[in-house]
Amino acid sequence: MSIKVEISELSSELERYGSAAFVLTAPPAGRPHIIQVDLRLVDGVFLASPGRSCSRNVAAQPELSLLWPAFEEGGYSLIVDGVGALRGDEQALELVVTPTNAVLHRPAKSAES
Protein backbone atom coordinates (compact mmCIF):
# COMPACT_ATOMS: atom_id res chain seq x y z
CA MET A 1 0.00 0.00 0.00
CA SER A 2 1.49 3.31 -1.05
CA ILE A 3 0.60 6.92 -0.32
CA LYS A 4 2.07 9.54 -2.65
CA VAL A 5 4.15 12.24 -0.96
CA GLU A 6 4.47 15.53 -2.78
CA ILE A 7 8.09 16.64 -3.23
CA SER A 8 7.16 19.90 -1.50
CA GLU A 9 6.17 17.88 1.62
CA LEU A 10 9.50 16.07 2.03
CA SER A 11 10.86 18.48 4.64
CA SER A 12 7.91 17.75 6.95
CA GLU A 13 8.36 14.00 6.41
CA LEU A 14 12.03 14.35 7.37
CA GLU A 15 10.97 15.83 10.69
CA ARG A 16 9.33 12.45 11.40
CA TYR A 17 11.88 10.14 9.77
CA GLY A 18 15.13 11.93 10.60
CA SER A 19 18.30 12.35 8.57
CA ALA A 20 19.61 8.75 8.59
CA ALA A 21 18.60 6.98 5.37
CA PHE A 22 19.76 4.27 2.99
CA VAL A 23 20.92 5.11 -0.53
CA LEU A 24 20.25 2.35 -3.07
CA THR A 25 22.30 2.52 -6.26
CA ALA A 26 23.16 0.06 -9.00
CA PRO A 27 25.92 -0.16 -11.58
CA PRO A 28 24.91 -0.60 -15.24
CA ALA A 29 25.40 -4.35 -14.70
CA GLY A 30 25.63 -6.14 -11.40
CA ARG A 31 24.15 -6.16 -7.94
CA PRO A 32 22.50 -3.19 -6.22
CA HIS A 33 24.58 -1.37 -3.61
CA ILE A 34 23.19 0.03 -0.35
CA ILE A 35 24.81 2.44 2.08
CA GLN A 36 23.51 4.36 5.06
CA VAL A 37 24.12 8.10 5.06
CA ASP A 38 23.19 11.22 6.95
CA LEU A 39 21.13 13.34 4.54
CA ARG A 40 20.36 17.04 4.55
CA LEU A 41 17.56 18.61 2.50
CA VAL A 42 18.77 21.97 1.17
CA ASP A 43 16.87 24.00 -1.42
CA GLY A 44 14.88 20.97 -2.57
CA VAL A 45 17.82 18.56 -2.99
CA PHE A 46 19.31 15.97 -0.66
CA LEU A 47 23.01 16.22 0.19
CA ALA A 48 25.21 13.45 1.61
CA SER A 49 28.75 12.12 1.66
CA PRO A 50 28.92 9.08 -0.65
CA GLY A 51 31.26 6.11 -0.44
CA ARG A 52 33.43 4.94 -3.33
CA SER A 53 31.02 2.31 -4.68
CA CYS A 54 28.07 4.68 -4.40
CA SER A 55 30.04 7.36 -6.27
CA ARG A 56 31.00 4.95 -9.06
CA ASN A 57 27.42 3.77 -9.42
CA VAL A 58 25.95 7.28 -9.50
CA ALA A 59 28.51 8.37 -12.10
CA ALA A 60 27.51 5.45 -14.35
CA GLN A 61 23.81 5.19 -13.50
CA PRO A 62 22.40 8.30 -11.76
CA GLU A 63 18.90 6.98 -10.97
CA LEU A 64 18.70 5.90 -7.33
CA SER A 65 16.38 5.51 -4.37
CA LEU A 66 16.49 6.73 -0.79
CA LEU A 67 14.86 4.66 1.96
CA TRP A 68 13.85 5.50 5.50
CA PRO A 69 12.54 2.27 7.07
CA ALA A 70 9.35 2.21 9.10
CA PHE A 71 10.08 2.91 12.74
CA GLU A 72 7.21 0.85 14.11
CA GLU A 73 5.78 -2.52 13.17
CA GLY A 74 3.12 -2.09 10.50
CA GLY A 75 4.26 1.47 9.86
CA TYR A 76 5.17 3.16 6.64
CA SER A 77 8.63 3.40 5.09
CA LEU A 78 9.50 6.57 3.21
CA ILE A 79 10.88 5.87 -0.27
CA VAL A 80 12.19 8.66 -2.47
CA ASP A 81 13.30 8.08 -6.05
CA GLY A 82 15.68 10.58 -7.53
CA VAL A 83 18.56 11.45 -9.78
CA GLY A 84 22.00 11.62 -8.22
CA ALA A 85 24.98 13.75 -9.18
CA LEU A 86 28.42 14.21 -7.68
CA ARG A 87 30.07 17.53 -6.95
CA GLY A 88 33.34 18.53 -5.39
CA ASP A 89 36.58 16.57 -5.48
CA GLU A 90 37.92 13.42 -3.85
CA GLN A 91 38.70 15.34 -0.65
CA ALA A 92 35.17 16.75 -0.32
CA LEU A 93 32.90 14.75 -2.60
CA GLU A 94 29.19 15.34 -2.16
CA LEU A 95 26.20 13.38 -3.43
CA VAL A 96 23.37 15.62 -4.64
CA VAL A 97 20.00 13.89 -5.11
CA THR A 98 17.16 15.64 -6.89
CA PRO A 99 13.94 13.89 -5.82
CA THR A 100 11.53 12.88 -8.60
CA ASN A 101 8.95 10.80 -6.73
CA ALA A 102 8.16 9.93 -3.12
CA VAL A 103 5.82 7.51 -1.37
CA LEU A 104 5.02 6.21 2.07
CA HIS A 105 4.86 2.44 1.67
CA ARG A 106 3.90 -0.59 3.75
CA PRO A 107 2.83 -4.09 2.79
CA ALA A 108 -0.89 -4.50 2.19
CA LYS A 109 -2.56 -6.47 4.96
CA SER A 110 -3.00 -10.11 4.07
CA ALA A 111 -6.44 -11.67 3.85
CA GLU A 112 -5.59 -13.63 7.02
CA SER A 113 -5.01 -10.46 9.10
Q: Are 23 and 50 in contact (CB under 8 A)?
A: yes
pTM as predicted = 0.92
DSSP secondary structure letters along 36-92:
EEE-EEETTEEEE---HHHHHHHHH--EEEEEE--SSTT-PEEEEEEEEEEES-TTS
Q: What is the pLDDT of residues 58-112, one digit of tens each?
A: 999 999 999 999 988 889 999 999 999 999 987 889 999 999 999 999 988 744 4
Is position 99 within any domain? yes
Which pLDDT belongs to residue 111? Answer: 45
CATH number at residue 48: 2.30.110.10
Q: 80: how many CB neighbours lie within 10 A of its CB?
A: 23
Per the structure, the count of domains in the chain is 1
How would residue 12 be classed by pLDDT, with cut points 50, 70 and 90? very high
Is position 110 within any domain? no
Is position 16 within any domain? yes
The number of angstroms, rounded, from the C-alpha of 21 to the middle of its chain's C-alpha atoms is 6
Which pLDDT belongs to residue 107? Answer: 86
> Which residue range(s) make up the domain with 11?
2-105
